[in-house]
């Protein structure tokens, strides 16, 4: 039978656990179920396209598949801000998972991406957490911090009173080591571990800054349509399963990695004091509304989110 080969551009570098766990898995599942009729060629972050260009390349159909963070598609996706995580909204990973799959946020994302010829499938939902060099025991400790951040979280941390600046990933380690910044977030425990951040920052901050669908698999609709129907179903089904499998597995690995960091690198968990959490939540809520202003869709998603959080008893 005919074999189709897809070029898949990852936004993960090879050492990121997700490269193997998410893309490696997806490749195995799809190649196995299609009896080798559909093959995926994986490319590490930046090989063909840089992360911020991958959505565009998939949208043009030059790439058949890719992985991104929603924030890399901000210019097209008005829902991207909400998808990449409003700070201090959810408190547990399952809540975010239910928001996506149970309440229909995932479908809203898929509808918006469809306008650009892209099939959107969130890879997993997971927390973004900070590591810092000195523990936060008071509000003052927090406002004294210099934090490496990016995107919406940078704005949030600045607004909350810390000194947040953007430093590219390639300079993060030396910056943290020498004290240019006292803290940073790069994913959560696994991200920090893979970047070696625990070597130079010994406190892992809980709770999460946000919990969100920060990793997304995108497929070119054109490429999908070219497949015979049974293959299309195999791909879509594999993507649907991927969300649940990876969300669950990621949490397991987070815990294992944090335990390892605690054992090997003397890392301590620094739980933010109650009053600090409260003040951060207040600042965060003021910022949420801005995301709703981007489009009618975003407004609808935000209303849905707020109703949901009220229902959960958080608002």
Partner 1 sequence: MRALTAFMNGVTRLNDFIGRWVALLVFAMFIFLLLEVCFRYLMNSPTVWTNELTQMLFGVYAIMSGGYIMAHRGHVNVDLLYSHLGPRVQACLDVFTSTMFFAFTLALFYFGYDMASQSVASWETSYSAWNPPIWPVKVAIPLGTGLLVLQGVVKLLEDIAIAFNLDYYKPESREAEQEDML
Partner 2 sequence: MSIEVLTLLFFGALLFFLVLGLPLAFVLGGVSVVFLYFTWGFDSFFMVASQIWSTMESFTLVAIPLFVYMAMILERTGVANDLYRMMHLWWGGVRGGLAIGTLGICALFAAMCGISGAAVVAMGTIALPSMLERGYDKNMALGCINTGGGWGILIPPSILMILYALITGVSVGKMFAAGVLPGLLLMVLTIAYIIIRCYFQPHLAPALPPEERASWAEKFRALRAVILPIAIVIMVLGSIIGGITTPTEAAAVGVFGALISAVVYRKFTWKLLHEASIRTFKLTGMIMWILFAAHAFSAAYQSMGAQELIEGLMQMIPGGPWGVILSMMLIIFLLAMVLDPVGIMLITLPVFMPIVESLGFDPIWFGILFVINMEIGYMTPPFGFNLFYLKGVVPPNITMRDIYLSIIPFVLVEIVGLALIMIFPEIATYLPDLFF
Ligand X SMILES: NC(=[NH2+])NCCC[C@H](N)C(=O)O
Residue 75: CB atoms within 10 Å: 10
Out of ligand X, partner 1, partner 2, none, what residue 186 binds, judged by CB under 5 to 8 A for its kind, is ligand X
Find residue 210's DSSP bridge partners. 128
Interface with partner 2, residue 200, by CB under 8 A: yes
Per rule CB under 6 A, is residue 10 in the interface with ligand X? no
Give yes or no for residue 191 binding ligand X (CB under 6 A). Answer: yes
36 binds partner 2, rule: CB under 8 A = no
Q: Is 204 in the site for ligand X (CB under 6 A)?
A: no
By CB under 6 A, tell whether 251 contacts ligand X. Answer: no
Q: Is 85 in the site for ligand X (CB under 6 A)?
A: no
Q: Interface mask (CB under 6 A) for ligand X, residues 129-168, using x and -?
A: ---------------------x------------------
CB of 259 to partner 1, least distance (A): 33
Binder of ligand X out of 9, 10, 16, 247 (CB under 6 A): 16
Query: Which residues are paired to 184 by β-bridges?
Result: 131, 148
**Backbone dihedral region for residue 187 (phi beyond 0: left; psi -120 to 50: alpha; all else: beta):** left
Which partner in partner 1, partner 2, ligand X, none is near 141 (CB below 5 to 8 A by kind)? none
What residue 144 binds from partner 2, ligand X, partner 1, none (CB within 5 to 8 A, per partner kind)?
A: partner 1
**Residue 187 lies near ligand X (rule: CB under 6 A):** yes
Three state DSSP letters for the chain:
CCCEEEEEECCCCCCCHHHHHHHHHHHHHHHHHCCCCEEEEEECCCCCCCHHHHHHHHHCCCCCEEEECHHHHCCCCCCHHHHCCCCCCCCCHHHHHHHHHHCCHHHHHHHHHHCCCEEEEEEEEEEECEEECCCCCCHHHHHCCEEECCHHHHHHHHHHCCEEECCCHHHHHHHHHHCCCCEEECCCHHHHHHCCHHHCCCEEEECCCEEEEEEEEEEEHHHHHHCCHHHHHHHHHHHHHHHHHHHHHHHHHHHHHHHHHHHHHCCEEEECCHHHHHHHHHHHHHHHHHHHCCCHHHHHHHHHHHHHHHHCCCC
Q: Which one, 31 or 159, has the nearer CB to ligand X?
A: 159
> Contact region for partner 2 (CB under 8 A) — 23-31, 46-54, 99-107, 254-262?
46-54
Q: How far is the CB of 186 from ligand X (least distance, A)?
A: 5
Q: Which of residues 150-189 bind partner 2 (CB under 8 A)?
A: 167-171, 173-175, 177-180
Specify the residue, 28 or 286, whose C-beta has the smaller distance to partner 1.
Answer: 286
Shortest Å, Cβ 93 to ligand X: 14
Residues that bind partner 2 (CB under 8 A): 7, 13-15, 41, 43-44, 46-50, 52-53, 56-57, 60-62, 167-171, 173-175, 177-180, 194-196, 199-200
Residues that bind ligand X (CB under 6 A): 16, 18, 128, 150, 185-187, 191
């Amino acid at each position: 039978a005919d074999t189709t080969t897809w070029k898949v551009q990852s936004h993960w570098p090879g050492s990121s656990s997700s490269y193997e766990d998410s893309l490696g898995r997806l490749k195995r599942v799809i190649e196995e179920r299609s009896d080798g009729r559909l093959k995926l060629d994986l490319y590490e972050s930046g090989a063909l396209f840089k992360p911020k260009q991958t959505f565009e390349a998939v949208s043009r159909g030059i790439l058949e598949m890719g992985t991104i963070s929603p924030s890399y598609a901000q210019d097209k996706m008005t829902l991207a801000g909400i998808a990449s995580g409003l700070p201090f909204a959810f408190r547990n990973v399952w809540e975010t998972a239910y928001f996506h799959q149970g309440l229909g946020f995932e479908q809203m994302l898929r509808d918006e991406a469809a306008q650009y010829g892209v099939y959107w499938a969130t890879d997993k939902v997971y927390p973004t957490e900070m590591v810092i060099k000195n523990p936060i025991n008071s509000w003052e400790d927090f406002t004294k911090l210099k934090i490496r951040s990016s995107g919406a979280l940078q704005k949030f941390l600045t607004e909350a009173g810390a000194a947040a600046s953007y430093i590219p990933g390639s300079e993060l380690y030396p910056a943290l080591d020498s004290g240019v910044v006292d803290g940073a977030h790069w994913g959560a425990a696994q991200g920090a571990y893979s970047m070696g951040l625990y070597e130079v920052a010994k406190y892992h901050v809980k709770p999460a800054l946000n919990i969100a669908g920060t990793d997304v698999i995108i497929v070119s609709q054109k490429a999908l349509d070219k497949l015979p129907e049974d293959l299309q179903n195999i791909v879509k089904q594999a993507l649907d399963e991927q969300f649940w499998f990876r969300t669950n597995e990621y949490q397991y690995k987070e815990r294992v990695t944090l335990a390892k960091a605690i054992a090997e690198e003397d890392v301590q968990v620094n739980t933010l004091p109650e009053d600090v959490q409260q003040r951060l939540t207040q600042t965060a809520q003021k910022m949420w509304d801005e995301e709703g202003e981007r489009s009618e869709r975003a407004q609808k998603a935000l209303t849905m989110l707020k109703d949901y959080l009220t229902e959960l008893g958080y608002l």
